[in-house]
Structure 1
């Protein structure tokens, strides 16, 4: 026969078992979690090895790119074959489900992006861009350049600045009649005249013409003539933009522009070839950084002169 003490202990044990059976909430915890666990977001970093669930393709991430409005991850398998998959859920790492997300940009990428954004706020001349600014009514002051190619180059690099300032660029078609142009223009404090001359080097014909033109009374105080040392404005483009370390020397007796085009291996027999060649050269100019400093300084000097408040 059991003793009373033993009966009491047995009843307590049975009571505890019955209570434990129903004390826990069977719905408590993540009872719906998949057998492999819930997917975790993982940045799709290069060289990370993942498996695509639907195809079983296993490979190392070689790049992530945006295509057709969505991010795509490229996986290279052990045989060097590459397949692309949409970035997102549906991947495994060591058997655990993951959702691949775009990797955070590196310090270099962030710096490059900042540089692009900064460039977008600058004009081709390096000035601060003014968004949606209307062109100013043209000033009485003008900048004159020798020919069409000079004007096109100035427009490409400084065009935005000149429109903001209301400065018009006019063609001289050569400097031989510079004195007559100055007299016809009738410069004044409110009508300044800036002139850009090619190949303005001491001892040259161009220097003599400029000296004589600046000696007339009409040129006093309100005319500024500056020049660059290049044979032609073409030469003000950095030669590296054309694949050269320096501009070629063209033999005397050969048309300089035709000789340059011949050196480039471009058509050079006619004036139409020259016009097309210049367009190709001009396309290589993206900003002031693609021009020689000898031209940059002179154009900036002219802009300052004709826009100075009096």
Structure 2
């Protein structure tokens, strides 16, 4: 049985190799919010450029987006491990947890020492939380990149059965608390990312997530997080952003979205994302992590948007 300290060391070692592979230097820090510890990775960049806040998705890690960071036009990056993820502490996500208040508290703490507005690049659930933050703190977000379907933010989402089952009391805790072998963990990524998506990439991209999924904080947090977003019947109304609220997000928004996104296609979501007056769609032949399926096209779109 691997101890928590050993898991943390293994996760950090895999991260170090992955960052080194892409020639990135970084430091880590911890901030307190909502009674837990939030791990933040600061990736070095040109201090004259606007920082990019990088937000990962549910049951994922920042490592998955590392291959896209060279497209950020040399900007410094502030990468967040959500509670229960990466090396952050746990959060119970008890019944009645307000995800919008949760998001605002976490990101306010993360950005407390960052002056001015930031650009945000967010994947999946990170996109849902990024949209919440745009509504709560519009002065803090300059531009927004949404990678894939943004969690449960759009009313058109119909969660796949796997997500609904993980929201079931008891079932999700058993599934997410079960340690699976590395090869099985890697194979499971096909459910949300598509078959073979991670195969061309450095193995550390998968290893970081595997080690993180074995920590107690993951098992203590993720079942409640799934339940705050979805039930066996679908996405909870409290998670969805109303069209009239989306219309108030007037910053430039780039959506890099795969036609075959397992959660929600860009066409099906058109009634929601088109409510944002300055939203631009780049649709790729890809699944839920388009920068891993179509790296050159995704990187070009993100680079052009952030360099503008």
TM-score (norm. length: structure 2):
0.32
The structure, 1 or 2, with the larger RCO (C-alpha pairs under 8 Å, 6+ apart) is 2
User: Structure 1 length normalisation: TM-score?
Assistant: 0.31
